[in-house]
């Protein structure tokens, strides 16, 4: 079925997590159906800690491939996996028709912030993982980047050196950890470019459905919460409706400012919820693709 939507000057991608229950699965598919007409460049599906969602991630990616026109990207980590395990998962994706992977080291089994211990027969980090995957098949590979440094990293130089090695090994896009201060992102991109890394550094945008949860997660991931942002949500703990309006305003401000700075690609951490992401994309200028069938019938 062809569409009549104009080609927008921005591109978006959406990240989902694999559902744990039937109810969550229904919710995920409602979100995918709502966001699909915005014609994202790709939709990615996360991989749970320690490969705990291996089957669920595969199932979700496969269903996206079979039941939609969307291009899926499967996240894959090194946690608790030998190189052979990783190869098996990657081959299964390739055979299903998946051509895009988001290659990550992953976090310690002890949770975010715990010391990472590589599996004896596995990859030590995403640098090695990217090389291993590229040697296996010619996947398109996206990797992570951290505008505020990875929490385990002693300095930016180490982080950026790792990013460079991931790109040298074949990654063609970096997606950032979420952030709320666009100056921080811009300074990071400048450092990255000075290091001779020229792949797109796509900002990861998190709509704040629940400020308390985002603040807690920010602490663990090293993403800072500016004072002005905390103030915006102050006193709204019991007021869901106002929180939703504030969240939409905050996110719209952030993406419009990034757009004004020349950013054209955005990756949304959807949390499997479509409402806020859909309105932010509308504000960015994206419109749902319309089917040609009506105009064809009228002709």
What distance in Å separates the CA atoms of residue 98 and residue 100, rounded to the nearest whole number?
6
**Only segment of 124-132, 193-201, 270-278, 280-288 that touches ligand FAD (CB under 6 A):** 124-132
User: Do residues 106 and 128 make contact, with C-beta atoms less than 8 angstroms apart?
Assistant: no
Site for ligand FAD (CB under 6 A): which residue of 158, 212, 242, 291?
158
User: Does residue 88 have an active-site annotation?
Assistant: no
Q: Is 13 in the site for ligand FAD (CB under 6 A)?
A: no
Q: Is 160 in the site for ligand FAD (CB under 6 A)?
A: no
Q: Which of 6, 15, 26, 55 is catalytic?
A: 15
Give the footprint of ligand FAD on residues 233-292 (CB under 6 A): none
First to last CA, the chain: 17
User: Do residues 103 and 171 make contact, with C-beta atoms less than 8 angstroms apart?
Assistant: yes
**Only segment of 45-53, 92-100, 207-215, 228-236 that touches ligand FAD (CB under 6 A):** 45-53
Taking the CB of residue 10, how many other CB atoms lie within 10 A of it? Answer: 15
SS3 168: helix
Minimum distance from CB of 105 to ligand FAD (Å)? 3
Minimum distance from CB of 3 to ligand FAD (Å)? 28
Contacts of 191 (CB under 8 A, 6+ apart): 156, 160
Entry field: residues in the chain:
299
Q: If binding means CB under 6 A, how many residues of this protein chain bind ligand FAD?
A: 23
Q: Which of 34, 133, 10 is nearest to 77 (CA)?
A: 133
Give the footprint of ligand FAD on residues 67-106 (CB under 6 A): 75, 77, 102, 104-106
274's tokens:
């479509």
Minimum distance from CB of 82 to ligand FAD (Å)? 17
Contacts of 251 (CB under 8 A, 6+ apart): 205, 207, 208, 276, 280
Q: Is 180 in the site for ligand FAD (CB under 6 A)?
A: no
What distance in Å separates the CA atoms of residue 219 and residue 151, rounded to the nearest whole number?
9
Q: Is 125 in the site for ligand FAD (CB under 6 A)?
A: yes
**Residues in the site for ligand FAD, rule: CB under 6 A?**
46-47, 49, 75, 77, 102, 104-107, 125-127, 144, 150, 152-153, 158-159, 162, 175, 177, 204
Which of the residues are catalytic? 15
């Amino acid at each position: 079925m062809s569409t009549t939507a104009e080609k927008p000057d921005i591109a978006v991608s959406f990240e989902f997590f694999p559902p744990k229950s039937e109810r969550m699965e229904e919710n995920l598919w409602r979100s995918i159906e709502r966001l699909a007409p915005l014609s994202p460049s790709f939709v990615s599906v996360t991989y749970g800690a320690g490969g705990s969602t291996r089957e669920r991630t595969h199932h979700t990616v496969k269903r996206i491939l079979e039941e939609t026109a969307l291009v899926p990207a499967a996240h894959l980590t090194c946690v608790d996996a030998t190189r052979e395990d990783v190869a098996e998962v990657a081959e299964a994706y390739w055979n299903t028709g998946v051509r895009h992977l988001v290659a990550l080291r992953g976090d310690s089994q002890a949770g975010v912030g715990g010391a990472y211990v590589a599996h004896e027969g596995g990859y030590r980090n995403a640098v090695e993982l990217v090389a291993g995957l590229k040697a296996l098949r010619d996947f398109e590979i996206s990797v992570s980047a951290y505008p505020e440094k990875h929490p385990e990293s002693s300095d930016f130089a180490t982080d950026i050196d790792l990013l460079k090695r991931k790109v040298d090994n074949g990654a063609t896009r970096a997606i950032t950890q979420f952030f709320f201060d666009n100056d921080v992102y811009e300074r990071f991109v400048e450092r990255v470019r000075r290091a001779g890394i020229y792949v797109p550094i796509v900002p990861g945008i998190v709509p704040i459905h629940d400020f308390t949860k985002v603040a807690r997660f920010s602490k663990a991931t090293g993403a800072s919460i500016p004072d002005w942002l905390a103030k915006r949500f102050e006193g709204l703990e019991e007021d869901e409706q106002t929180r939703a309006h504030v969240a939409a305003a905050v996110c719209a401000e952030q993406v419009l400012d990034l757009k004004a700075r020349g950013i054209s690609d955005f990756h949304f951490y959807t949390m499997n919820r479509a409402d806020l992401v859909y309105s932010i994309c509308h504000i960015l200028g994206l419109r749902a693709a319309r089917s040609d069938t009506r105009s064809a019938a009228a002709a």
